[in-house]
Amino acid sequence: MTRFALTIEYDGRPFMGWQRQSHGPSVQQAIEDTLLAITGAPAQVHAAGRTDAGVHATAMRAHVDIEKPITAFRLMEAINARLRPAPVAILACAAVPDDWHARFTCVKRHYRYTIITRRAPLTFERGLAWRIPAPLDTSAMADGTARLVGRHDFTTFRSAHCQADSPIRTLDRLDVVADRDRIDIFASARSFLHHQVRSMVGCLALVGQGKWSPDDMAAALDARDRSALGLNAPPDGLFFTRADYPTD
């Protein structure tokens, strides 16, 4: 038995999310069905994160245990060949120690959320960014991010369906980077609550539109009440971009 670490890129639009679902296709199912066809044995793929329907990844990390003798390169090539035309690709594959776990060994997770501020509909980036048809005040948004960085109770920014034991999280980074009509929001933490990034971005957009002040971000956080949330951003612009491990 060999444990392989995978680096996975996918377009989340055709999927119900990463995790296998009974009511629609998932990225996990696509890869596991492919592994069954390759090895003749069922295999479970464990990921660093569980992205929602419509959320994308540029470098999701995962692992799988394979009993059949095969090299990492041959496994990667075989998975990619059989995944076509699904918008999922294995970017890297390597054998790792048996105690390496994509989820539990991970020490930090990174996301990017993209907003495009223009009146015209999106064409090439439709489904890959959130279009807001007017400019946003990115300075005010950056001021708002400062109210959330650190260790807090993020109940307000947590989905009602979140299964985490505690709403306490340490947000290490929340940065707003603007380039003409494109705004990228970068978030980093050891772990996130369900919908936490989308909820923070939605409220930051309200700050950028002048509907909220940066102080309103702090008030929402302090409320520790989901009903205090101003807006949950759509999944379109959210990308899982990196997972960090002690051995990296």
The model's pLDDT over 79-115, given as tens digits with 9 standing for 90+, comes to 999 999 999 999 999 999 999 999 999 999 999 999 9
Mean pLDDT computed over every residue of the chain = 96
Residue type, 197: V
One domain for residues 80 and 141: no
Q: Tell me: the pLDDT tens digits for 108-135?
A: 999 999 999 999 999 999 999 999 999 9
Q: Answer positive or negative: Cα dihedral of 30, 34, 40, 42.
A: negative
Domain that holds residue 227: 108-244
Residue 163's pLDDT is: 84
Tell whether 28 and 143 lie within a shared domain: no
pTM: 0.95
List, by residue number, the catalytic residues: 52
**Statement to judge: residues 7 and 87 lie in one domain:** yes
Domain containing residue 170: CATH number: 3.30.70.660
Which of 151, 162, 129 has its CA nearest to residue 229?
162
* Same-domain check for residues 85 and 136: no
* Residue 82 exposed, middle or buried by CB count within 10 Å (0-12, 13-18, 19+): middle
236: tokens are: 């379109």
Q: Summarize pLDDT for 177-207 with one digit per residue, the tens.
A: 999 999 999 999 999 999 999 999 999 999 9
- pLDDT tens-digit series, residues 148-164: 999 999 999 999 888 88
| Domain identity same for 66 and 125 | no
Residue 103 lies in a domain: no
The answer to whether residues 116 and 92 belong to one domain is no
pLDDT at residue 11 in the model? 98
Residues 159 and 71 in one domain: no
At residue 176 the predicted structure's pLDDT band, cuts being 50, 70 and 90, is very high
Radius of gyration of the chain (CA): 19
- Which of 66, 75, 57, 76 lies closest to 12 in space, CA to CA? 57
Residue 22: the pLDDT is: 81
Q: How many domains does the chain have?
A: 2
- The DSSP secondary-structure symbol of 179 reads E
Q: Are 129 and 233 in the same domain?
A: yes
CA distances 97 to 47, 49, 64, 196, Å, are 16, 20, 12, 32
CATH number at residue 23: 3.30.70.580
Tell whether 25 and 147 lie within a shared domain. Answer: no
In a domain, 222, yes or no: yes
Q: Does 80 share its domain with 169?
A: no
51 phi and psi, to 5 degrees? -70, 150
Task: Spell out where 18-75 has E strands.
Answer: 46-47, 56-66
Question: Is 101 within the bounds of a domain?
Answer: no
| pLDDT tens digits, one per residue of 225-247 | 999 999 999 999 999 999 999 97
Point out the domain boundary residue: 61, 96, 131: 96
